[in-house]
């Protein structure tokens, strides 16, 4: 291996928490081969973009980075640029002609090949490693983690659903789960290293299945919670079809499992859910919400919702607004639909809602949800909440930012507290996104 800057790498991560976790896996794989992580892109001889293809604007952002890197490559002939994750898996070798900056491509199942791809492209040429491997769970790779408070543990990868709008089944392939024993051993190491929060990750985390050992997600969560009794346990993302009563009872019965569930709904209209191929109606979704709330009354719920999917009429949109008013989610990720070539929707449905209408509907959804979040957050004023301190606040080094068990962000006076501390905070102010307060004994 050549010495000096050529050995150093920097990863830009786009997209979801799964991608953040994957960047930790890629970092560990490169470090194991003697590569060194740089503090900033300009110090690195190898620049990697770990990408997301889920929405058009995520792809646009990566495109922008690649254009900039093309400029850098003109000045620095030995700079190596790699693109990993969902975009190369989706666009494949076409990427090389679209973006001349790229030296190599690696998909979500081929991160193990990245160190050797780097070595090979040093000798010239462009390489793509884009095979699917439905057995790859990256078992045995201990991801590099930033910070020592919160850790992601990917427990399953891929998606067997076929939501009509979604590229994930095409980019990440079939579902496969990390063996139970391997999850538990990772959790033990995290406990021993002093982590205070563990988030179990998967595209459909609650379809986790270790058939050999007989563990479904409820059993896994139960075991993880027992293994790490002083650690906050979270999980994301859940699919409504896999919310079972046994899972909800496990969440309710362990103090350390956060009473917070992210449950994407996508639309409030059963007609749209049918067109989206979600596999459930809105009534079935609401039954799951009722089940969760009957067993965990103080649960906080969040969701994903798409405005302007193919064929969406004003009354479907109204049904989405009504759903937000009925459920009163704590927060939501809200998007307008962008067609993704190759998906069921792109192949079989017409993207017929004009862009200004999509954007207007999205804005109505955002305005309503912000109002609901603000109302819910205001109810916390005057109460004392338990907060895990995560980082310095963005505004001031005299304040820390942390989260409640319900996943609400809380900014509070630092005093003598450090990241990783669990403390009580009296809430004095609230917006639709953040609580503010001061520590109390
Ligand atoms: N257009 C808009 N939003 C999408 N999502 C997935 N695919 C699309 C698309 N084509 C949203 C869904 C999903 C979240 C991760 O991204 O709400 O839950
Ligand atoms: Fe995409 Fe649907 Fe799978 Fe989620 S469940 S990753 S939205 S196909």
pLDDT tens-place string over residues 333-370: 999 999 999 999 999 999 999 999 999 999 999 999 99
- On average, the pLDDT of the chain sits at 95
Q: Is residue 134 part of a domain?
A: no
| Digit-coded pLDDT (tens) for 112-163 | 999 999 999 999 899 999 999 999 999 999 999 988 899 999 999 999 999 9
* Residue 154 and residue 120 share a domain: no
* Residue located nearest, by CA, to atom 4 of ligand 2: 203
- Which CATH number belongs to the domain containing residue 392 in this structure? 2.40.50.140
Q: Within this chain, do residues 20 and 163 fall inside the same structural domain, yes or no? A: no
Tell me how far the alpha carbon of residue 172 lies from the centroid of ligand 1, in angstroms: 15
The verdict on residue 96 lying in a domain is yes
Say how many Å lie between the CA of residue 195 and the centre of ligand 2.
30
168 in the same domain as 297: yes
Mean pLDDT within 217-241 = 97
- Report the nearest atom of ligand 1 relative to the CA of 166: 7
Instruction: Please check whether residues 108 and 164 belong to one and the same domain.
Output: no
User: CB neighbours of 214 closer than 8 A, spacing ≥ 6?
Assistant: none
Within a domain: 141: no
User: What pLDDT, on a 0 to 100 scale, did the predictor assign at position 4?
Assistant: 64
Q: Are residues 424 and 367 in the same domain?
A: no
Region 302-329 average pLDDT: 98
Q: Which of 343, 358, 378 is the last residue of a domain?
A: 378
Q: What is the pLDDT of residue 146?
A: 85
- In angstroms, the Cα distances linking 125 to 104, 115, 210, 367 are 9, 16, 41, 50
- Ligand 2 centroid to Cα of residue 238, in Å, is 10
Verify whether ligand 2 is closer than 6 Å to residue 167 (CB atom).
no
Q: Are residues 110 and 189 in the same domain?
A: no
Distance 165 CA to ligand 1 centre (A): 7
Query: Under a CB-based contact definition with an 8 Å cutoff, are residues 164 and 349 in contact?
Result: yes
CATH number for the domain harbouring residue 189: 3.80.30.20
Residues 60 and 190 in one domain: no
My answer on whether 226 and 281 are in the same domain is yes
Give the structural domain span for 388.
Answer: 384-440
* Rounded CA separation 303/37 (Å): 35
Query: Are 94 and 23 part of one and the same domain?
Result: yes
- For 34-70, what is each residue's pLDDT tens digit? 999 999 999 999 999 999 999 888 888 999 999 999 9
Ligand nearest to the CA of 239: 2
Instruction: Report yes or no on 186 lying in a domain.
Output: yes
Q: Residues enclosing ligand 1, CB less than 6 A? A: 54-55, 165-166, 264, 266, 304, 306, 335, 337-338, 340
Q: Could you tell me if residue 252 is inside a domain?
A: yes
Please tell me the distance between residue 343's alpha carbon and the centre of ligand 1 in angstroms. Answer: 12
* Average pLDDT, integer, range 176-183: 96
**Domain co-membership, 169 together with 287:** yes
Q: What confidence score (pLDDT) does residue 207 get?
A: 96
Q: In this structure, what are the phi and psi dihedrals at residue 423, rounded to the nearest 5 degrees? A: -145, 170
Amino acid 2: pLDDT: 43
- Residues 246, 257: Cα–Cα separation, whole Å: 14
Q: Could you give the number of structural domains in the chain?
A: 3
Residue 242 pLDDT greater than 90, yes or no: yes
């Amino acid at each position: 291996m050549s010495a000096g800057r050529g050995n150093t790498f920097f990863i830009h991560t786009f997209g979801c928490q799964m991608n953040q976790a994957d960047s930790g896996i890629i970092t560990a794989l490169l470090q194991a081969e003697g590569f060194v992580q740089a503090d900033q892109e300009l110090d690195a001889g190898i620049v990697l973009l770990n990408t997301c293809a889920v929405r058009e604007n995520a792809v646009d952002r990566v495109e922008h980075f690649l254009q900039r890197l093309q400029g850098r490559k003109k000045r620095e002939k030995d700079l190596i640029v790699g693109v990993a994750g969902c975009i190369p898996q989706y666009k494949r070798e076409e990427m090389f002609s679209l973006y001349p900056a790229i030296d190599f491509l690696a998909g979500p199942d081929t991160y193990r090949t990245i160190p050797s791809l780097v070595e090979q492209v040093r000798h010239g040429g462009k390489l793509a490693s884009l095979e699917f491997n439905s057995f790859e769970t990256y078992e045995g790779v201990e991801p590099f983690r930033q910070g020592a408070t919160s850790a992601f543990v990917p427990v399953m990868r891929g998606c067997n659903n076929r939501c009509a709008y979604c590229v994930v089944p095409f980019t990440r392939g079939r579902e496969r789960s990390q063996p139970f024993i391997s999850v538990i051993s990772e959790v033990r190491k995290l406990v021993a290293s002093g982590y205070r929060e563990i988030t179990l990750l998967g595209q459909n985390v609650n379809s986790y299945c270790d058939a050999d050992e007989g563990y479904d997600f409820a059993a896994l969560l139960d075991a993880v919670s027992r293994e790490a009794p002083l650690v906050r346990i979270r999980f994301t993302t859940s699919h409504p079809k896999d919310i079972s009563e046994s899972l909800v009872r496990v969440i309710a019965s362990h103090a350390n499992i956060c009473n917070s569930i992210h449950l994407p709904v996508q639309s409030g209209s059963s007609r749209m859910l049918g067109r989206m191929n979600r596999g459930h109606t809105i009534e079935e979704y609401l039954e799951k919400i009722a089940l969760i709330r009957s067993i965990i009354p103080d649960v906080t719920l969040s969701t994903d919702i798409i405005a302007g999917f193919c064929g969406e009429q004003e009354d479907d949109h109204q049904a989405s607004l009504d759903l937000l008013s009925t459920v009163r989610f704590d927060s939501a990720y809200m998007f307008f639909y962008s067609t993704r070539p190759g998906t069921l929707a792109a192949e079989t449905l017409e993207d017929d809602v004009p862009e200004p209408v999509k954007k207007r509907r999205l804005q109505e959804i955002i305005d309503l949800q912000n109002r609901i979040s603000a109302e819910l957050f205001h109810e916390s004023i005057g109460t004392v909440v338990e907060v895990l301190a995560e980082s310095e606040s963005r505004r001031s080094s005299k304040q820390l930012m942390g989260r409640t068990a319900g996943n609400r962000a809380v900014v509070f006076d630092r005093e003598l507290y450090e990241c990783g501390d669990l403390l009580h905070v009296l809430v004095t102010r609230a917006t639709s996104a953040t609580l503010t307060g001061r520590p109390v004994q």
